[in-house]
């Protein structure tokens, strides 16, 4: 009987575990290596917010969320689309539901039950785990690992790297693999923070009173690109889903010019004329603050946000314009250690159409190691799962399994 092909998967996050599942289901002998003492740490951290697995929007719109990498990722996402991820989760007993925003979550609203069921499946399929193994690159043709100061080697038939980006380094994704691959001639795009908060020089009063307060149902824009959603005031500036959706554009402006303009419309469903008409009504003995609260139902954080660019105008039309056009200057962004995800990594020019490294035959790459980014909302996990499955199928096709 022919011995099964041996595959090393380095990285026990969503991309690596999905690759291990696909490979082992086809009969390959799979060993998963990870530097941490347990698997799926970043997945469990993501699950604290409900584990947003994917999104239910039409696929064309879904793919467009990946910006510059959309065309490259399209065939990968089409091969393992959101519906496939939902079916996979349901098959593990982690039934899903679609939230009001279109995002897809497990009904349990956490990652641990799904991860337990997944690991049980991998165990039944014979996947082996070697944890506390830090990958050091190669010794000759063999993979080299450090474990408690001792070296360990492995010479598999193929290797899949799924080591993550460089965000949340305390969970194991340190990005130190970039030097190992760069030394082998692999093109690496510099890491940058993605889905991160940005710095604003708030007034002391606003920062002290309103840090942690949300700005809800507003329109946030940079140039001609706008999103509807929510953001949160922080002591250092601003963060939240709407900001993350614009983060690539905002980051580019900060890097290029040292400044990014963020425009906020607090009442996007009302025209400036509607607002001016409401604000023109006599306010009697009400202060301007109370008048804004009553006429436009503005929250205290919103009213005080209006004051950040300067004193409030008394004219109704000018005040209405301020409500719909608050401009804030973003002067910096949070570092990789505070970013939800990263841009940069292995350039798509460095891999072939199967995600195999051109400089290193039989070595494949998946997940956040690749140079793509997307906003929160299910897009991050979907691409990790999809690239893991895609690379695994490519390995199986190469080895003839």
Beta strands in 255-322 (DSSP E): 260-265
The boundaries of every CATH 3.50.50.60 domain in the chain are 6-193+342-399
The CA distance from 106 to 71, in Å, is 29
Which residues are CB-contacts of 153 (< 8 A; sequence separation ≥ 6)?
139, 142, 143, 144, 145
The per-type count for the chain, helices as H runs and strands as E runs, is 15, 20
Contact call for residues 180 and 192 (beta carbons, < 8 A) = no
- Predicted pLDDT of residue 202: 98
Taking alpha carbons only, the member of 158, 139, 54, 110 closest to residue 395 is 158
Q: What are phi and psi of 368, to 5 degrees?
A: -70, -5
Please report, for residues 194, 231, 379, the alpha-carbon distance to residue 244 in angstroms, rounded to integers and kept in the order given. 7, 9, 12
Pairing assessment for the beta strands 150-154 and 332-333 based on DSSP bridges? unpaired
pTM of structure: 0.92
The CATH architecture that domain 6-193+342-399 belongs to is 3-Layer(bba) Sandwich (3.50)
Q: 121 - beta bridge partners?
A: none
Token pair of 159 as six digits: 């290797």
Burial of 264 (0-12, 13-18, 19+ CB in 10 A): buried
Most distant CA pair in the chain: distance in Å? 92
The CA distance from 393 to 267, in Å, is 48
pLDDT in single tens digits along all 401 residues of the chain: 478 999 999 999 999 999 999 999 999 999 999 999 999 998 998 877 789 999 999 999 999 999 999 999 999 999 999 999 999 999 999 999 999 999 999 999 989 999 999 999 999 999 999 999 999 999 999 999 999 999 999 999 999 999 999 987 777 778 999 999 999 999 999 999 999 999 999 999 999 999 999 999 999 999 999 999 999 999 999 999 999 999 999 999 999 999 999 999 999 999 999 999 999 999 888 899 999 999 999 999 999 999 999 999 989 999 999 999 999 999 999 999 889 999 999 999 999 999 999 999 999 999 999 999 999 999 999 999 999 999 999 999 998 76
Pairing assessment for the beta strands 158-161 and 363-365 based on DSSP bridges? parallel
- Predicted pLDDT of residue 1: 41
Contact call for residues 198 and 237 (beta carbons, < 8 A) = yes
State whether residue 320 is helix, strand or coil.
Answer: helix
The CA distance from 40 to 131, in Å, is 12
State whether residue 64 is helix, strand or coil.
Answer: helix
- Predicted pLDDT of residue 193: 95
DSSP string, 70-115: HHHHHHHHHHS-HHHHHHHHHHTT--EEE-TTSEEEETT-SSHHHH
State whether residue 47 is helix, strand or coil.
Answer: helix
State whether residue 8 is helix, strand or coil.
Answer: strand
């Amino acid at each position: 009987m022919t011995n099964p092909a041996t595959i090393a998967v380095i990285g026990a996050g969503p991309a690596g575990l999905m690759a291990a599942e696909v490979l082992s289901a086809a009969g390959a002998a799979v060993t998963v290596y990870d530097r941490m003492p347990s698997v799926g740490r970043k997945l469990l951290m993501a699950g604290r917010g409900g584990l947003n697995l994917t999104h239910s929007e039409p696929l064309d719109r879904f793919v467009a969320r990946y910006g510059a990498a959309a065309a490259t990722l399209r065939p990968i996402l089409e091969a393992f689309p959101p519906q496939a991820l939902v079916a996979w989760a349901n098959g593990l007993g982690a039934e899903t539901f679609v939230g009001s925003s279109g995002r897809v979550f497990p009904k349990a609203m956490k990652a641990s039950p799904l991860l337990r069921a997944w690991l049980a499946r991998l165990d039944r399929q014979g996947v082996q785990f070697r944890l506390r193994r830090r990958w050091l690159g190669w010794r000759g043709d063999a993979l080299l690992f450090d474990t408690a100061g001792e070296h360990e080697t492995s010479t598999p038939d193929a290797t899949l790297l799924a080591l993550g980006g460089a965000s949340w380094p305390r969970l194991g994704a340190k990005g130190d693999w970039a030097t190992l691959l760069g030394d082998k001639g692999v093109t690496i795009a510099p890491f940058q923070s993605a889905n991160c908060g940005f710095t604003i020089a708030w007034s002391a009063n606003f920062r002290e009173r309103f840090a942690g307060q949300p700005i809800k149902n507003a329109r946030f824009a940079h140039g001609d690109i706008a999103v509807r959603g929510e953001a949160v005031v922080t002591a250092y500036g601003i963060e939240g889903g709407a900001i993350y959706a614009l983060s690539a554009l905002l980051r580019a402006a900060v890097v290029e010019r040292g400044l990014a303009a963020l425009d906020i419309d607090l009442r996007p469903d009302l025209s400036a004329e509607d607002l001016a008409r409401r604000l023109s009504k006599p306010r009697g003995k009400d202060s301007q603050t109370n008048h804004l609260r009553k006429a436009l139902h503005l929250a205290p954080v919103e009213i005080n946000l209006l004051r950040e660019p300067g004193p409030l105008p008394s004219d109704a039309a000018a005040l209405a314009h301020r409500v719909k056009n608050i401009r804030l200057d973003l002067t910096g962004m949070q570092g990789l250690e505070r970013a939800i995800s990263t841009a940069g990594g292995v350039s798509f020019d460095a891999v072939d159409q199967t995600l195999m490294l051109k400089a290193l035959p039989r070595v494949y790459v998946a997940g956040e190691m690749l140079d793509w980014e997307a906003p929160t909302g299910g897009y991050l996990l979907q691409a990790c799962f999809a690239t893991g499955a895609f690379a695994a199928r490519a390995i199986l096709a190469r080895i003839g399994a």
